[in-house]
Amino acid sequence: MSRLIVISNRVSPPAEVGNASVGGLAMALSAALREENGMWFGWSGEVAESSGQISIQKIGGVTVALTHLEEQDVQEYYNGYANKTLWPLFHYRTDLVAFERSFDEGYSRVNQRFADTVSPLIVEDDLIWVQDYHLIPLASKLREQGVKNRIGFFLHIPWPAMRVLMTLPKHGELVETMFDYDLVGFQTEDNMHAFTEYVINQAGGEDLGDGRLRAYGKTIQVGAYPIGIDAKEFVEASRSQTAKDYWDLMRDSQAGRKMIVGVERLDYSKGLEERFTAYDQFLRDYPQYERNVFLLQIATPSRGEVGAYQDIRGKLDTLSGHINGEHSTIDWVPLRYVNRSYRRDELAGIYRAAHVGLVTPLRDGMNLVAKEYVAAQNPADPGVLVLSEFAGAAAQMRDALIVNPFDREAVSEAIHEALSMPLKQRVARYEGLIHGIMTEDVVSWRKNFTNDLKGKPPVKKPEPLV
Ligand code: ADP
Ligand code: G6P
pLDDT tens for each residue of 244-269: 999 999 988 888 999 999 999 999 99
pLDDT at residue 72 tops 70:
yes
- For residue range 94-131, list pLDDT tens digits in order: 999 999 999 999 999 999 999 999 999 999 999 999 99
**pLDDT, mean of residues 23-36:** 72
Residue 20's pLDDT is: 53
- Going across the sheet that includes 183-186, the strands are 55-59, 62-69, 38-47, 4-10, 127-131, 151-154, 183-186, 218-224, 212-215, 206-209
pLDDT at residue 28 tops 90:
no
Q: Is the shortest distance between the CB of 187 and ligand 1 below 6 Å?
A: no
Q: Is the shortest distance between the CB of 453 and ligand 1 below 6 Å?
A: no
Q: Percentage of the chain with pLDDT > 90? A: 84
**pLDDT, mean of residues 140-159:** 98
CB atoms closer than 10 angstroms to residue 58: 10
Out of 187-191, 260-264, 442-446, which region has the weakest mean confidence (pLDDT)? 442-446
* Protein residue closest via CA to atom 4 of ligand 2: 23
Q: Please, which residues have CB within 8 angstroms of residue 346's CB and are 6 or more apart in sequence?
A: 242, 243, 246
**pLDDT, mean of residues 285-295:** 96
State CA 237 to chain mean position distance.
Answer: 21
pLDDT band at 393 (very low <50, low <70, confident <90, very high): very high
Helical segments of 328-403, H only = 344-353, 368-375
Residue 19's pLDDT is: 54
pLDDT band at 15 (very low <50, low <70, confident <90, very high): low
- Give the distance (Å) from ligand 2 centre to CA of residue 134: 9
Helices (H) and strands (E) in the chain, counts: 18, 16
Quick one: which atom of ligand 1 is closest to the CA of 270?
A: 3
* Protein residue closest via CA to atom 19 of ligand 1: 264
Average pLDDT, the chain: 93
This prediction has a pTM of 0.95
Q: Is the shortest distance between the CB of 368 and ligand 1 below 6 Å?
A: yes
DSSP state string for 399-431? TSEEE-TT-HHHHHHHHHHHHT--HHHHHHHHH
Helical segments of 202-240, H only = 231-238
Residue 1's pLDDT is: 66
Ligand 1 test: best mutation among 12, 19, 25, 264, most atoms within 8 Å of CB? Answer: 264
* Protein residue closest via CA to atom 10 of ligand 2: 10
Residue 439's pLDDT is: 95
- For residue range 202-220, list pLDDT tens digits in order: 999 999 999 999 999 999 9
- Give the distance (Å) from ligand 1 centre to CA of residue 204: 38
pLDDT band at 428 (very low <50, low <70, confident <90, very high): very high
pLDDT at residue 49 tops 70:
yes
- Give the distance (Å) from ligand 2 centre to CA of residue 200: 30
Out of 31-40, 115-124, 419-428, 442-451, which region has the weakest mean confidence (pLDDT)? 31-40
Question: How many angstroms separate the CA atoms of 200 and 68, rounded?
Answer: 38
* Protein residue closest via CA to atom 8 of ligand 2: 156
Which residues does the annotation mark as catalytic? 156, 364
Ligand 2 test: best mutation among 10, 21, 44, most atoms within 8 Å of CB? Answer: 10
Q: Is the shortest distance between the CB of 300 and ligand 1 below 6 Å?
A: yes
Spell out which residues line ligand 2, taking CB within 6 angstroms: 10, 23-26, 132, 156-157, 302-303
Q: Is the shortest distance between the CB of 370 and ligand 1 below 6 Å?
A: no
Question: How many angstroms separate the CA atoms of 27 and 263, rounded?
Answer: 15
Question: How many angstroms separate the CA atoms of 454 and 446, rounded?
Answer: 12
Quick one: which atom of ligand 1 is closest to the CA of 227?
A: 7
Residue 462's pLDDT is: 47
Out of 145-149, 173-177, 253-257, which region has the weakest mean confidence (pLDDT)? 253-257
Buried b (16+ CB within 10 A) or exposed e, 394-409: bbbbebbbbbebeebe
